[in-house]
Every structure is written in C-alpha cells, then in structure tokens.
Amino acid sequence: MKTYVVLGGGGSFGLHTSKYLLDHAEPLKVIAVGRNPPKSEPFSLNIGKGDPRYEYHQIHLVHEQDRLFELFDREKPAVIVSYAAQGEGAVSWKKSWRFFDTNGTALVKMAEELMSRDYMERFIQIGTSELYGSVDKPMKEDDPIRPTSPYAASKAAFDLYLLSVANVLQFRMNIIRPSNAYCPGQLLHRVIPRAVMCGLTGQKLPLQGGGRAEKSYIHARDLARAILMVSEKAPLGTVYNAGPPLPISIRGLVEKVAEALGMPFDQLCEVTPDRLGQDSRYWLDSSAIKRDVGWEPQISLEEGLKEMVEWGRTYLPQLRDVPTDYVLRT
C-alpha cells in the first residue's frame, strides 16, 4: 500500500485523479495539495469526503515549499503526481514571467530537493500536447517540440530539465503529455463546460475563429488511469503521449455538445474572431503508452459529453452565475 500525493489537487483533473487512485490503487493514503481552499460542491464533487484515506492541504507551490516538504517528509509519498502549473496559454502573452515562476523555477526547485528523498519511488509530471505546436501529423514523444506560447515554453522548460536529471542523476520520473482533458467540475472558461452552461442557460457560446482549430480530448478518468498504469508499469525516465487516435475541430466538438444537449448547433453558438496565437491542430501518437503499459482511452467523447451535460443540469442553480472568464493569479 502506497501513499500518493497529487499536486494541483484542487483542480478538476487532480480531483478526478485522487478519486481514481482511491477507487483503484488500494492506497494507504491519497493526499491532494492545492493553492486554494477546497472548492464548492459543483467543482469539488465531494471527492474524498468522508474517506479517511484522503486529505487535502492548501499549500502554495511557489511561496510555501517549506510547508510542502514538511508534508512530504511526514507522509513519505511513494508516488508524486504533479498537475501543478500556471495554465491557460491564451493569456500567457502578458505577465509571462508568472508562468515560468510556477512551471519552471518552482518545479525545478522542488524536484531538486526531492532527489534527496529516498522514499519517493516515482515523480509523474503532467505535461501538455501544446509542446509540439501546431502539427500536420500525430506527434511522437521524440519528435521536435515547438512551443508557440509562453505557457507552452514554460512547460517545455521543465520537461527538458526532468529529462536531463533523469539521464544524468537518475531522477525517478515519468512525463505524461495528454490531450486536452475534460470532466465534470472543470472551470467554466474551458470550452466544453462553457458550451454546456451556455446551452443550459440560453446564452450563445463565442466560437472563436468559427471553430476551425483541431484538438483532441480525453476524459480526466482516462488520464487518471494512464497515470496509475504508468506509476505501476512504465520504465523510469520515459515520456508518454496520452490521447485519442484523431483530433476533432472545435466546431465539431461544439456540434457534439449541442447534440448531447438536444438543441440545434446554431442555437448554441456564434462565431467570433480567433484568439491570439491559436494553433491550428494538436494531435498525438499514443502508441508508446499502449505498447509499454497497455493504456488507451476507454471513454468515448459522446459518453463523456453526456456526463458533462448531466453535471451541468445537476448543479445548474449553483453554476448559473459563476463567471466564465479566466483570471490570472499568482
């Protein structure tokens, strides 16, 4: 029985990973760490509530690493999963240094300190498909990375650091670069929950650039399953893409949301100008993770979007007035 720590554990993906570990890893303990207090039920989904194996700690990665290592040294986690990041590439063109403070400097500082902790068996970094930039083919893990935003550049910096210390200093790590993940509890500035809420409240979703950009999507439970399988079976030091075989245009995605809502596509959205720096296509080759640990996505987009609509309807009274704009915070 192992203790797991999930950094970025207050976010929707971290929460779903914590739940998956509680349900499937037979853990001694799952400890979620996030910079904010626990969120309200529509976003926390009461994950871990009443389970004595689960803890949540509010600790800021950038400013409170002393507290973080007090927690690590007390609990001695065997596996540390890091979602911790300053996210949202679209807004990283201003105050870009904040992205490097978290996604680069703070994580490097933490990883260097972790090298002296023998109790840690594996560190799993959750990267991003945005590292490869806009592509015309499914990208493999050893293809060149071409980040096209300050956010993606900051994520690339830590990936490259991890690869160097794994190679030279035998730092026990893996990197997973997933497709765009989604799940119930996701914040409303993301396209899927925002589209669901627009449909449920009679608003129009701004479809940037007509939805021409293509991305690939996986449910957060599929990502959590990839994390557990990598933690148990993967060779140390390896990088894995994790996504579906094909991307989908944002327009096609919103059409599927409209279908899940039972409403016409034209009633759900309106075309607006494209966002700054929008890449035209993210597309991953995930054959390596299937070969090494047997992972491939199991939850279809149609099934996942149906679940998103059910979540929106369940919590509509609480979600109706939640802002949909992204706010950059330290």
> pLDDT averaged over consecutive 10-residue blocks of the chain (330 residues)?
97 97 98 95 96 98 97 98 83 87 95 97 96 92 93 95 98 97 95 96 87 92 98 98 95 96 93 63 94 98 98 96 65
8-state DSSP, 21: H
N- to C-terminal Cα separation, the chain = 35
Q: How far apart are CA 120 and CA 189, in angstroms?
A: 35
pLDDT at 204: 92
pLDDT at 217: 96
Return the structure tokens found at 314: 């369940």
Find how far residue 306's CA is from the centre of its chain.
20
DSSP notation for 222-244: HHHHHHHHHHHHSPTT-EEEE--
Which residue segments constitute the domains of the chain, with CATH numbers given? Answer: 3-181+218-242 (3.40.50.720), 184-215+246-278+300-319 (3.90.25.10)
Return the structure tokens found at 259: 């279908």
**Among 154, 127, 129, which Cα is nearest to 143's?**
129
pLDDT at 328: 52
pLDDT at 278: 52
pLDDT at 91: 79
- Beta-carbon neighbour count of residue 201 at 10 Å? 12
**Among 141, 145, 117, which Cα is nearest to 3's?**
117
**Among 80, 69, 74, which Cα is nearest to 30's?**
80
DSSP notation for 56-75: EEE--TTT-HHHHHHHHHHH
pLDDT at 279: 56
Return the structure tokens found at 150: 């300050």
Largest CA distance in the chain: 57
Alpha-carbon dihedral of residues 217, 219, 224, 225, nearest 10 degrees? -90
